[in-house]
Amino acid sequence: MQSSKFLLVGSPNSGKTTLFNALTGLHQKTANYPGVTVEKFYGEFHFQNKHIQLIDLPGIYSLYSTAEDEKLAIQEILNSAYDGIILVVNAHQFEKNLLLILQILELKKPTIIVLNMIDEAQKNNIQFDISALKNLLNVEIVATNARTKQGIQDLLEKLSSIKESTSSFYDLNLLKNYHHLIPESINNYENWLKYYHSESNLEELQVIVDADLNYKKNIQQYILNKCVSKSNVVKNNFKSFDKYLTHKFYGFVFLLITLLITFQLVFFIAEYPMEWLEWIMNNVTIYLKSILPDSEWANLIVDGILPGITGVLIFIPQIAVLFLVIGILEESGYMARISFLLDSIFNKFGLSGKSLIPLVSGVACAVPSILSTRTITNPKEKLITILVLPFMSCSARLPVYTLLISLIFPENDTFLFFNIKGLVLFALYLFGLLMALIYAWIFHKMIHQNKKTFFFIELPSYKLPHWKNLMIIVWNKVKIFITDAGKIIVAISIILWYLSTHTFSSIQNNLNNKYSERFDNDSINIAYKRELLENSYIGLVGKKIEPIIAPLGYDWKIGISLLTSFAAREVFVGTMATLYSSASEDDIISLREKIATAKHSDTNTPVFTTATNVSLLIYYALAMQCISTMVVVYRELKSLKWMIIQFLIMTGTAYLLSFLAYTLISS
């Protein structure tokens, strides 16, 4: 079977990823703001007995771009082997895309141009003379609407006849005129671009870039005059409500209300499916207990695996609701407006409006968010964004937060019509943002940079969110939570079960002797379980670290949870579930009840007091409890120093503030 490889190239927000999904049937995340794709993604499909591999590259404005994500795409275009380029152009913003079109065609690679979002262009009275455009550019052009799959079949059929343009779109004397600045061996446009991107000092090459852009500007104008007609040169198509959404005062009021509603929904809507899932898992536990024989395997399933699975499942509704709302904000184009609103504030803290998308994405997971900082062109702003990004409360913290908030506020109380739990959750997210801004400001004052940078944000036009894209966003987030975090949670639950129910043979023998022949008595059985847990492998480790965490109000079981959740924060809940299942008087009560009623074995006082819960909330909001994030920070910054500084600052601040909170509340 014949096989071909194509690069999917286009400017940011041209609908490239939507086209990629339409062609491959895959479910890459899309959004209505630039910079969604910061890495290359592979997909494949078959058409007319041909195997086609497609590579979705980060969006680029031009082949001179120097942003890190754009450079990744440019390197792929200039240096990799492929059979052709599918150049996706936003028809609504055709004029802006013309420079990239001319540059790509000048590379003399087989290319097909996709005029995407053609419906939006038509709505705005932009008309194309496609046959004239084809003749001028000398390549195939297909008009599409990737959202509705209009034109996709046409594109597939034309892929087989893809060819390179024979027209020339750059001044052949351009390079000759500047051979005092560049080596004489550079004799074509492709080599010039390769040279440009290999140089570290681009300042003196700007004069060549300027000459090239000026030359192309005239060609662009000629093409526009011949092939495109539009009703108005400058036209404000943006809805009247945009005025309010980005207003100097009402814009912030609307933003605050949006955030408030988001966190209310997380508790209000997600509460019901969470309760159903918890009820189902409790009944599964009861059923399995009744049918399984009393054996080590049965204990492993009931006390090890099931609590771990429950710890994963019950938080899915909240994660789904949170990302549904974030998806709506992204898809509608409002997220980019939030960047505009916050840019000047962020800038005072050493961040930029472009930091907003990584920071908001950090609410999902810090790992992909750190990768999305590649859109930030200013190295200092990028470094500061990465350093403070893990302060944003990620979805892994959500299970910990909801559990602890429910312990502090067991009833569904309201304050000014708002659910208190939702308000506290909102406050925790704001707390994370506040700490991020405080440390950003400190880093801003400490780090100095002389490099010249260029900042801009594109504000895409508003769109009604597409339900299918929203479902893809929600499904991807839930899937990541189940597969990535879920696997770790269940694996750690099993290991913990073993470590919390087994001990050294000498200790085990002593326990067996102490409790022998008295297992028929329920209360003695529970006392045995409790003593076994305290003397288990994990119990012995927990007691060793207890002096370090005791000032924060934590006992050894919480200490174990802190250690295990270093793999992933949400493991905290699974660990608690496993540890408290191991010695619970009633195995079928919910996790929240088990933890709420837990008592210190020596003093018989509650473990989870308000002071302890607040201290834990602060600790989990601030501590660097995620090995994956640390690895990605190291990979992205290529610096062990910054990774260690970040860990020490986050965990040190968490320890200090948790200690202060515990001391103040308990005194």
At 320, the amino acid letter reads A
Nearer to another protein, 374 or 569 (CB): 374
CB 211 → another protein: shortest distance, Å? 10
Nearer to another protein, 95 or 593 (CB): 95
Nearer to another protein, 207 or 280 (CB): 207
Q: Are 226 and 129 in contact (CB under 8 A)?
A: yes
Nearer to another protein, 34 or 399 (CB): 34
Nearer to another protein, 187 or 206 (CB): 206
Nearer to another protein, 378 or 565 (CB): 378
116 sits in which H/E element: strand 111-116
CB 540 → another protein: shortest distance, Å? 57
Binding site for another protein (CB under 8 A): 61-62, 64-65, 92-96, 98-99, 124, 126, 203, 206-207, 209-210, 213, 217, 233-238, 246, 248-249, 252, 339-341, 343-344, 347, 353, 452, 454-461
Read out DSSP for 598-639?
-B-TTT--BSS-HHHHHHHHHHHHHS---HHHHHHHHHHHT-
Distances (CA, A) of 281 to 475, 482, 486, 587: 22, 16, 16, 12
Q: Are 353 and 345 in contact (CB under 8 A)?
A: no
Nearer to another protein, 252 or 418 (CB): 252
CB 581 → another protein: shortest distance, Å? 53
Q: Are 624 and 652 in contact (CB under 8 A)?
A: no
d(CA 35, CA 16): 11
CB 97 → another protein: shortest distance, Å? 8
Q: Which pair of structure tokens corresponds to residue 645? A: 């500084």
Dihedral angle over CA of 572, 472, 32, 147, nearest 10: 180
CB 261 → another protein: shortest distance, Å? 23
CB 209 → another protein: shortest distance, Å? 5
Nearer to another protein, 69 or 531 (CB): 69
Q: Which pair of structure tokens corresponds to residue 334? A: 């409002």
Nearer to another protein, 120 or 636 (CB): 120
Nearer to another protein, 10 or 422 (CB): 10
| Closest to 20 (Cα-Cα) out of 28, 10, 31, 12 | 28
d(CA 219, CA 237): 27
Residue 141 backbone phi and psi in degrees, to 5: -130, 135
CB 539 → another protein: shortest distance, Å? 56
Q: At what angle do helices 537-549 and 522-535 cross, to 10 degrees?
A: 70
CB 98 → another protein: shortest distance, Å? 8
Name the residue with tokens 């087994």.
502
Read out DSSP for 29-44?
---SSS----S-EEEE
CB 204 → another protein: shortest distance, Å? 10
d(CA 25, CA 32): 20
At 40, the amino acid letter reads K
Q: Measured in whole angstroms, how far is the alpha carbon of residue 376 from the centre of its chain? A: 16
CB 445 → another protein: shortest distance, Å? 19
CA neighbours within 13 Å on the CB side: how many for 556?
19
